Amino acid sequence: MPRHSGKQLSIEIDELTNSIKEVSTGRVLPTEVVRLLSVHAAQVHKKDWSFNWHLELLEPTREVYKLAISEEPGVIQGLVSLEDQTDHIFTHLLESAKQNRGRTKRFAGVPGNLLAFACQVSFDKGYAGFVSFVAKHALIQHYITTLGAQVLRGNRMYLDTHAGTMLVERYFNKSRNGPR
């Protein structure tokens, strides 16, 4: 059983897109997901995030990744914290940047993009796309409906090979076995 930070995924999957979509124009933009190291913590301004990502960066068993659009690589659109559980990837935290929340968000598709990345990491490590997380109870049905997630028990959920494949193919426009 993976240890977790006690945090629950409480982010609504706003839309499953191909990459991320600029809400005002409908334009789909290419993204990149890059590992964020503690030496880069200055890029994450505490006031802009609900979670304390600086603490997350200090956790030795976790890896934090940032999502950025290719044309603005220095602007973080979302963050995800992953832990290798030797048979699957556990998602500790996932958060859209402040500018991507609410009715006036700049981009839709950030949470789905980051979960697709977690699935890709799982495939790359030979874990068949399995990703788990702890969900807020109010969002369990939402994750089942939008992502194809399944309940393991209580509010612990997972994405299996089928759900992982669907997300990877949608966000990365390729077969899960294709080159990265």
Domain total of the chain? 1
- Among 9-13, 15-19, 24-28, 148-152, the range scoring the smallest mean pLDDT is 9-13
Name the pLDDT band for 43 (thresholds 50, 70, 90).
confident
pLDDT of residue 85: 97
- Among 17-26, 42-51, 168-177, the range scoring the smallest mean pLDDT is 168-177
- Report the CATH number at residue 108: 3.40.630.30
Task: Answer yes or no: is pLDDT of 180 > 50.
Answer: no
pLDDT of residue 178: 37
Domain assignment present for residue 147? The answer is yes
* pLDDT (tens digit per residue) in 58-103: 999 999 999 999 899 889 999 999 999 999 999 999 999 999 998 8
Structural domain range at position 143: 20-172
Domain assignment present for residue 13? The answer is no
Domain assignment present for residue 162? The answer is yes
Domain assignment present for residue 151? The answer is yes
Kind of pairing, strands 28-29 and 20-22?
Answer: antiparallel
pLDDT of residue 56: 92
Task: Answer yes or no: is pLDDT of 152 > 70.
Answer: yes
Residue whose C-alpha is closest to residue 157's, from 180, 137, 176: 137
DSSP string of 153-176?
Answer: ETTEEEE-HHHHHHHHHHHHSS-T
pLDDT of residue 20: 87
Domain assignment present for residue 116? The answer is yes
Question: Which tokens is 108 given?
Answer: 């839709």
What proportion of the chain, given as a percentage, has pLDDT over 90?
Answer: 61
DSSP string of the chain?
Answer: -----S--B--------SSEEETTT--EE-EEEEEEPGGGGGGS-GGG-SS-HHHHHH-TTEEEEEEEETT-TTS--EEEEEEE-SSSEEEEEEEE-GGGSSTT-SEE-HHHHHHHHHHHHHHHTTSTT-EEEEB-GGGHHHHHHHH--EEEETTEEEE-HHHHHHHHHHHHSS-TTS--
Domain assignment present for residue 74? The answer is yes
Domain assignment present for residue 7? The answer is no
Task: Answer yes or no: is pLDDT of 8 > 90.
Answer: no
Domain assignment present for residue 12? The answer is no
Distance CA 159, CA 76 (A): 25
Write down the mean pLDDT value for the chain.
86
